[in-house]
Each structure stands twice: as C-alpha cells, then as structure tokens.
Structure 1
Amino acid sequence: MAERTGVIEWCEGTIPLGEWLAADRVGAHQRYRPRDITPAEAKQRLAAVRDRPPERRRVVFEEITERLKPVLAYFYLEEFPDVRDWCLARAAYTRSLAVSSLVGYLVGLGDRHPQNILLHRRSGELVHIDLGVAFDQGRLLPTPEMVPFRLTRDLIHALGPLGLQAGFVPAAETVLATLRTGGEVILTLLQVLLHDPLYSWSLSPAQLCALEVRRAELLQTAGAQTKSNSVFADQTNLLGDTVRVTDRLNTTKNTLDMSITNMDTTRTGPGRTREPVNQLAERVLLGVRSKLEGRVTGNLAASSDGNPARCGGLDQLDVAGHVALLVRAATDPANLSRMYFGWQAYL
C-alpha cells in the first residue's frame, strides 16, 4: 500500500509448531513419549551450557536427543485420519518444507524457532511468520545462527520412515533449480535494496540484543511451568541471559555501528558521476548471487571437523551437490548444538 504501510492477515486454522510439540502437559512430546525428558528440561540443560565450549555443548545436545525422540508425524495422524487426506497433507507438508527451506536459505531468513513456524490444520502445510530477520542477519546475533534453515528431527520425522531422500531432497532440488533459472529476475527485484534506507531491513545492535532476549521470553511463555519455584528459576535464568547477551554484544557493537553509520558511500569511475551506494545491500545481493550460482562460504564450506576441502570451498556446486551440502549443514549436530537454546534445536 505504501513504503511503511501494509495489510496483515491472521493465520486461521493454524497452530505454532512449538505449541503442538512442547506445550506444558498437553504437548505431543509428553503425550506420545511420556518417559522421555520434557522439552522444558531439554531447554534448561542447553541453557546451562550456553557459555561452555562447543564440544561440551555438543555432548549435552546429543545426550538430549538420545532421551527426547521426535513425534511430529503424529500430527498428521491426528488431524488427517482418512488415508487419502493423510497422503495429500503429507505431500503438501513435504513441498512446503522444501520450498520454505530453500527460499529461506536464498534470502537468509533466520529466527526460525518453533513459535515462528505454524502447522496448518486443514492443508498440512508449514506457514512461516515473523520474517524480520532476513538477509543473513541471524549470523550477527549474539549467538550466531549456524544452519541454513530449520531441518530438525521433528520436521524430518513428519516426512515418514524413508526420511529426507524419498520426498524432501527431490523437491528441494526442483526448488533450487527453479530459483537458479529465475536468478536474474530475483536479483532484479532485490535491487530495490540499493535504494531503500538500510534500517528498513537491517537490524541495529540494540535490536539484535533485544531479539535474542525476546526469544527467551517467548520460550518461557510457551513452556511456562506451574510450580512457582520453576517460574522463579526461569525468570532468574532470563535475567542472567540478558546480562550475558549484552556483554557479548559489546564486543561487536562498535563494528556494527560503524557499518550502519557509514552505509552511504560514493562510487566513481571513468565516465561516471558520483552516486550513493548502499554497501551492505550490495553485499547482500552478492551473497544471493553466490547462492544462486552454487558457491558457498562460511560454516557451509567446512565440515564438522573444520576441513573445507571435503565440502568444496568456493567451487561451484551443481543442484544436487548444493542441496546435499545444505541438508548436511542443517542436520549436523555440531551446528545444531551451537544454536541459541531458545531456538530449540532438539525439536
């Protein structure tokens, strides 16, 4: 409607993934796996080691996954008892998971914790909300996001006994091939970033800090305990987390502030006039182009043991190889264990 005006729509007939899986006493994990540890216990264990070395965090994460098994497939048995409806819903789920994962990776969509993903009760599709952390801004959070998209055990569980290879991987390859075919159109549309104020899509250091604290608050609300001592413990942990996040942010705040302050520069060249250039937006476009061309960097270009040679480095990947690399990065326990505990990588 306008640069700062739009229309929002309530997502009818949906339930947050985190609510269905981990709501206190009525969540699917407690209903279907009552002998497992609860998601709230898993959260507390990860929160307790959030400042420990990555190796220790991985050990704790793997201990949690051994004692907390996925259950999302039961959602489709509950909501779609008819065989035909179940098959259609499962197919819709697989397609929506593939599309949202690959498109989200392309635009750098972050903050995909379970409260930001909805399950549609009528179609079976995934619906993503709260798209404010885009263009790889999640990498700048006090606890940087390490995965290209959310592909955790519960999401894989809902794909069925054949797992990723039967439906998700072929669908993801089709999506990525289509995105590559229309790459120039996508890049042309994203050129508007060069003419928009940086703050319209980039987060300030203060916003990054507030976002991480807010994620802890959302998690606390979604999984609130009934005992007063548990509530007090959660509030104490949240207060301590706020202090730690603020301390961590101070180490990068000056660099980020400088980037934001100096976002408008000038470009000159033979036969050119001076024009304003949004350097951060140009980096975003370069990153999108690299993804479309199958070139990967950062933690995607290194295996769990940090060996870049095994993952191709900056070599151009074909569609199948690119999807395989993304899936491996998204499901690697070394990456998942380093995510913010409020992201709930164990679900």
Structure 2
Amino acid sequence: PIRHMLQVPSWIQAQAAESFMKLAEFCSSRLESRNDADPKMDMSAEFQSHGAELAQTVVRSLVEALRFDSEEARNRFPRALDLCASYPEVRDEFIELTSNVPCWVFLRWVPQLLASLGFHEAGCSIPLLERMAKEYPQAIFYPFQLTKEDLANSPSAQKYINRLHLLLNDNRLLCAFVESLNLLSYADQRYVDWHKSTSLAKSTHDRDRVAQLYGSFYHDYLSKSKTWTGNGYGIPLKMFASVYAAVFHQLFGYPDRCEKLLRMTKKQFSNALAQVENVSPMAKQICKMGYLELRYLSPWLADFETHCKEDSFMDQFIELPGQYKGKVVPDLENHIRIAGFDSSVLVMTSIRKPKRIGVRCNDEKEYRLLVKGGEDLRLDQRIEQLFDVFNQILRSNEKSRSRNLYLRTYNVVPLTRNVGILEWLPNTVPIKSIVMPQGGTSSELIRKLTDEMKYEVLACGKGLNLQDSWGRMCRTVSSREIIKRFRARESQIPANLLRNGLRALCASVESFISIRSRFAKTFAVFSVCGYICGIGDRHLDNFLLDESDGTLVGIDFGYSFGISLQLGIPELVPMRLTRQFINILSPLDTTVLLKHDMVYTMRALQESKHIILNVLNVFVKEPHLDFVNEAKRVRDKAKRADIPSNMSGTQSSVGSLDSKDEDLTWLPKQKIKFAQMKLERFNPKYIMSEEFSLTPHSKKAFYSAVKSAICGDRSSLRFRTENQCADVEQQIDCLIEHATDPGLLGRAYVGWHPFV
C-alpha cells in the first residue's frame, strides 16, 4: 500500500527496505554490545554522544524501512520507541520522520505508544496518537480508556490525556457500550476484586488509589444511575445495590468523602469486610449460570437498536472490535459494525463467570464474543501480540514455513482494568472435556486420584494448610517415594484418553492421521513459544482443541513470564508434557517427533531473537497490573527475608529492593532477561533454578530440596549438561526431560492433574 505512493518498482523497494534493516540491525547490535561491555561508562559524555549517533541511525533506518513497507521494520518498531526513551537526542528526528509515514502502520503498537505518555518520551508519541485518533478513532478508543485510568494521578501526562480525550470521547455510544459490558459482571465477584485491590493499596499507604477503587466500585455496583446507560443495568446489580448500599455507606462512607475507609487500619478493614459478608446471602443466589435472557443482565444492550435511534447517539456507531491489525490500510467503509445483540447470553461455569454474547452486525452475520470481567486482560493481549510476531518469524523462516509451523491466535481487547472482550473460537472444546467427560468413568477416576493426592500432601502437614503441607512433603519425603506415588497414580489411568478422543472425531483413518499431525505440530509450537514467554497454569482447561482440524490453542495467559513460580505451590516444569500428550502419537515415538518440530521452532525464533527482545523491552514501559502487584508482593516479602533483587552473578540494572526510589519495573526486566537466556540456549534447569532463587520460596525450609529436584539427579541429562547448551537439539532434549520428570510432576499442584 505504501509503495503505490512512492511510485517505484516493488523490487527496488524490497532491496531498499532490506538495506535499511541491515544498517539498523548493525547499529543496534553495536549499541547493545557497547552497553553490555562497559556499563560503568554510561555517564561519560563521549560514550553518550557516540551512543546517541548510533541510536539516531537505528531510528532513521527503521523509519525509512517502514516507508518502504517492510514487515520486519513493523516488527522492530518497538526498538525505536525504546531508543527514544533512552536517548533524548533522537526524539525530534523520530517525530519528523514518522510524520511522513501513514499512521496505520503503527496501529499494532498503540498500547505501547499510549504507555509512553507517562514518561519523558511522551512528546514522541503524541503526534502519532493524535493522527490515529483522528483517522482511526475506534482503533485507539479502548486502549486509551485504560491509559486514562493508569495515568489518572500523573500530572505530567494529563496535558496529553486531555488532548486525546477531546478527540475520542465524543462517541457517547462507545462509552455506553463499554459501561454496559463492564456491568455484566456479577457484583459479588467484583466485591472480592475490590477488597483485594484495596488491601494492596492500603499496604502501600496509597490513599489516592484506595479512594479511586472505592469510587469506581461504588459507582458501578451501588449507585442508582450510571454515567452513560442511566438505569439500564440488570436485575442482579439492582438487587445487590438494594441490599448493600446502606451497609457500605455506614462502614466506609460515600465515595466523595470516604474518610472512614481511608482512616481504617488493616485489621479494621478486615473487620468491616466481615460485617459486609454477614449481611445477606442474597447476592450469591442471584449469580445464575447457563443460558439467560440478555435483558436480565443488561436492558441497555437488549435495547441497543432502540438506543441507536436516540438523539444523544444519533449518527454514532460501534465497529466490531478486533478489526485493526496494523498489517494493511484499514478499509473503514467496509468495516463491520454492530447492529444489535442476541436476546440470550451464555454464562460460563469457570471462576470468573464470563458471558458469551451474540453480536448481530451490518454484514448480516452473527459473531460471538466472550466478555470476561474481573481481570486485566492486557497481559493476555501482549502475549497474543508476541505470538503474532512469532508467527511472522516462523513464516519468514524457510524450514519452519515448509513444515507449516504456526500458532493459532485470537483477538483480545481489554476495555478497562476490569473487563475485556475475547474472540470466541468456534468448534473448540477444552482438552479437559475430552479427557474427563462429564459423567464418564475416567472423570470419576481422575477426581478420586486427585483427592487421594491432596490428602497425601495434607497428611505430611499434620494439620497445616495445603501449601505448608506441600512444603513439608518436599522437605521430608524422598524423591524416590514421590516418584513411586506418582507412577502408581499415573498407571491407573488409561494412557490413550486424549488419543481416543481425537479418534472419535474422525470418520476415517486418513482424517485421524491428519488431525493428529496438526495437533502434534501446534502442540510443539505452543510448547516452545509458551516456554519462551514463561507461560504457566497449563491445566487441562487452558488448552482448547479445534475439532474441525485438530489444532491446539492455548488460552489464559495470566501466569506468564515465570509468575507461576511465585505461587504458593510453584509450577516446577517448563511446559505441560504429561502422559496423555506424550501418547497422542503412539505407537510412534512421540518425544522424537515432537522434538523435530520443537527444534525447528526454537531455531527460527533464536535466529530472530533481536526482534522478540525488542518487543519484550517495550513491555517494561507498561508494567501490567499483575506484574506490579507481584513485584510489590515479592518486594515486601523480600524486605522481611532479605532476598536479593538480582540474579546470581549479575548486577541489577534497576536497583535493589531497599532503594527508596524503587522502580517496580524490576520484575518485568528480570523476566525479560530470563526470556533472553532461553533464546541463547541456556539449560532450562539453570534458568528455572536461578528464577526460583529470586522468589520468596528461597528462604523457606524446603527450598534446597525443591531446587535440587529442579536440577535433576546426577544421571539426568539436564544435570550433566553445562549451563549453556551446545546446540538447540541439546536444549530441547533438556527441556523435554525437564517437563517429563516424574519427580517434578509428583510435586505439582493437585489441581494441575499432573498424572493425566
């Protein structure tokens, strides 16, 4: 699309783009090697001047490559943002150069551009953002709402926020749509989120945050009228407000003067919460599941077509979310618009009770969206962004492309900190429903074995809770005994439950072979990509199977970048490769066949590691809510236990945990360092043991026993392999061995069903 404006042959454009990218890569690598070689020279004027010259060349080359429609330059654009943050000298040139590039090119990086508004380089981003707000307002509207929340207490960012607000908030229909989706969440769930977030804010003495949280919760769930939808909210919320509004007034005050809440100590706040929860059980009784009338939950959405004709919403419209990919020029005239909503909604049974809604659009088709409340979906969105980059790398690599290796991705659109939309994946079912069908004998057997495993762990604690009992088990029960118990459970479950489930989908042997092959390839690719991103919580509900072609889809990435190692019962395996997955290709050697595709995937990603690390580095600029909370939690425990904040043998670039001007981005930076090590062939056991040493578990009595299990016994391959593997094949061999170690699976959380 850009090349038509330049009026030059495509082959010349391709050569020019390639030349600019080679120059950008060369200067970028020189810049990185200089900084790594002598970090103490950072303050010298000569060093900074030379660095600024290199940074200017990188930025100039990247933007010139963008003008020549380079896909690689679009992938590496975060590097330019990173350099604008580090080198003020490049900012003016960045603004001038990007002004000559169509703004749609930058649409995929809108969240990162918005995140920069809270930093010194905000002036670089605002011209691009204003252009996008004028040309593609609905592409930037949703991420802007999140940024507005994040930077509400940042005086320096307000002038930029106000400029964008004037351009974006004139679409009242969009504002009402977001408010309506937010109010689909059941109030009792949001109450739990509110008191957890408030407890965290109180622990850091953040009065502004406490007041903000209370005001938001009060407005959404206790007030009689909403900003955009009036009284168009559902019966569950009206019933909740009628029961609890007076109680909240009495205990905490009104949102505009919540001095009672602000003055409360931690103990007083806990006592007040106990009084709230003792008022009435009614709220829990109205949290229905299954198919419901949409009007029951949201009269405003049910009457959407009528509202569109009202004077206040005249000439306004809502595009179906997820249409701006940043890969081609958006065709706004043909963008799909929402015309109405299906009269019924499906409330799912999972913990957050997400709602599947049907959306009727102007193309005479119905689309399904999953509305998920109570979670900040930005981390899921960032992982999908990263997966998209992985796919482009795999497509550009000849060997991975010839083997048809790719990840299935889906749209994630965060609307606020508490609600977001996910693309509904048709023809998919959770792996758990195949392995553990409702009412099936395998399901009952697995539940029985899960209970046995739980009671076995609790027996070690002799009255302690599950987490503390687990710690005592790791310390007092030998690895040989843990493996023996694990193998005994594993042997009781038929080995081919998943394989037979796949076979039941097929009408012929040929179709089974095809579906099985697609399953194995997508599983191999996801395993490697998930490992690089440190994605945990891989229980059987977090894998979906596309029944039409066998594609495996990973979902729910809330525990990414190694956060699952911080859990009370940490995940000690780098990916899920349990018996059911191993036997999917039987009677063939599954580990060998999986290994080939894993090697091709890992090698392709390692060859383009600079692109991946560029993307990861800008994530540090927008620390996700879970990252920040986790950093605070780890920091508080570390201060009490004197846990170091940096990896063994390395100097922290963000200061110690005792620093007064503590930068809470230290945790994401550390996670990115571990991702880099994975892309540099470090032994999985070495990375995990280093990462585990940074957790609060490192001061626990069970720490040495668990770390020893992570490293493996003396006969294991990963134990005998150096800290950095000799090649990708050896790295994948260590990874597979680590993931299938019965000593680690025997120490897994029971709800993970490690023996399945």
**1:193 aligned to which of 619, 625, 643:** 619
In 2: Cα distance, 1:319 partner to 1:337 partner: 28
Q: Does 1:137 find its partner at 2:546?
A: no
The one-letter code matched in structure 2 to 1:129 is I
Which position in structure 1 is the counterpart of 2:748? 339
The range that moved more, 122-131 or 321-330, is 122-131
Q: Does 1:21 find its partner at 2:428?
A: no
1:205 positional shift = 8.6
The one-letter code matched in structure 1 to 2:752 is W
The one-letter code matched in structure 2 to 1:289 is Q
Which position in structure 2 is the counterpart of 1:101? 527
Which position in structure 1 is the counterpart of 2:450? 43
**1:69 aligned to which of 494, 502, 506:** 494
* Structure ranking higher on relative contact order (CA contacts 8 Å, 6+ apart): 1
Which position in structure 1 is the counterpart of 2:166? none
The one-letter code matched in structure 1 to 2:502 is Y
Which position in structure 1 is the counterpart of 2:536? 110
Which position in structure 2 is the counterpart of 1:218? none
8 A contact 1:134–1:201 mirrored in 2: no
Q: Does 1:311 find its partner at 2:720?
A: yes
1:184 positional shift = 0.6
1:141 positional shift = 0.6
Q: Does 1:295 find its partner at 2:682?
A: yes
8 A contact 2:710–2:744 mirrored in 1: no
Identity %: 23
In 2: Cα distance, 1:305 partner to 1:203 partner: 38
8 A contact 1:58–1:338 mirrored in 2: no
**1:59 aligned to which of 481, 484, 491:** 484
1:83 positional shift = 2.5
The one-letter code matched in structure 2 to 1:103 is C
The range that moved more, 321-330 or 115-124, is 115-124
8 A contact 1:108–1:148 mirrored in 2: yes
Listed as ranges, the gaps of 5+ residues in structure 1 are 31-36, 209-249, 268-273
Q: Does 1:330 find its partner at 2:739?
A: yes
In 2: Cα distance, 1:198 partner to 1:58 partner: 37
1:126 positional shift = 1.2
In 2: Cα distance, 1:115 partner to 1:63 partner: 24
8 A contact 1:57–1:338 mirrored in 2: yes
With over 3 angstroms needed to count, the CA separation of the structure-2 counterparts of 1:203 and 1:119, relative to structure 1, is farther
In 1: Cα distance, 2:508 partner to 2:729 partner: 34
In 1: Cα distance, 2:545 partner to 2:525 partner: 15
Deviations 1:100-138 (A, max 9, x none): 100010010000011111121111111111111000011
RMSD: 3.4
Please give the secondary structure, in 1, of the residue aligned with 2:523.
helix
Q: Does 1:84 find its partner at 2:510?
A: yes
With over 3 angstroms needed to count, the CA separation of the structure-2 counterparts of 1:309 and 1:207, relative to structure 1, is closer
TM-score (norm 2): 0.35
In 1: Cα distance, 2:642 partner to 2:524 partner: 33
In 2: Cα distance, 1:284 partner to 1:114 partner: 25
1:305 positional shift = 5.0
1:199 positional shift = 2.5
Which position in structure 2 is the counterpart of 1:242? none
The one-letter code matched in structure 1 to 2:615 is L
The one-letter code matched in structure 2 to 1:2 is P
The range that moved more, 302-311 or 58-67, is 302-311
8 A contact 2:748–2:754 mirrored in 1: yes
State the structure with more CA Rg.
Answer: 2
In 1: Cα distance, 2:539 partner to 2:429 partner: 14
8 A contact 2:543–2:552 mirrored in 1: yes
**1:9 aligned to which of 407, 423, 448:** 423
The range that moved more, 70-79 or 176-185, is 70-79
Listed as ranges, the gaps of 5+ residues in structure 2 are 1-141, 147-412, 415-420, 458-468, 646-651, 690-706
In 1: Cα distance, 2:143 partner to 2:450 partner: 41
8 A contact 1:13–1:122 mirrored in 2: yes
Number of aligned residues: 290
In 1: Cα distance, 2:712 partner to 2:644 partner: 32
With over 3 angstroms needed to count, the CA separation of the structure-2 counterparts of 1:46 and 1:252, relative to structure 1, is farther
8 A contact 1:301–1:311 mirrored in 2: no
With over 3 angstroms needed to count, the CA separation of the structure-2 counterparts of 1:24 and 1:199, relative to structure 1, is same
With over 3 angstroms needed to count, the CA separation of the structure-2 counterparts of 1:277 and 1:140, relative to structure 1, is closer
The range that moved more, 168-177 or 80-89, is 80-89
In 1: Cα distance, 2:639 partner to 2:438 partner: 37
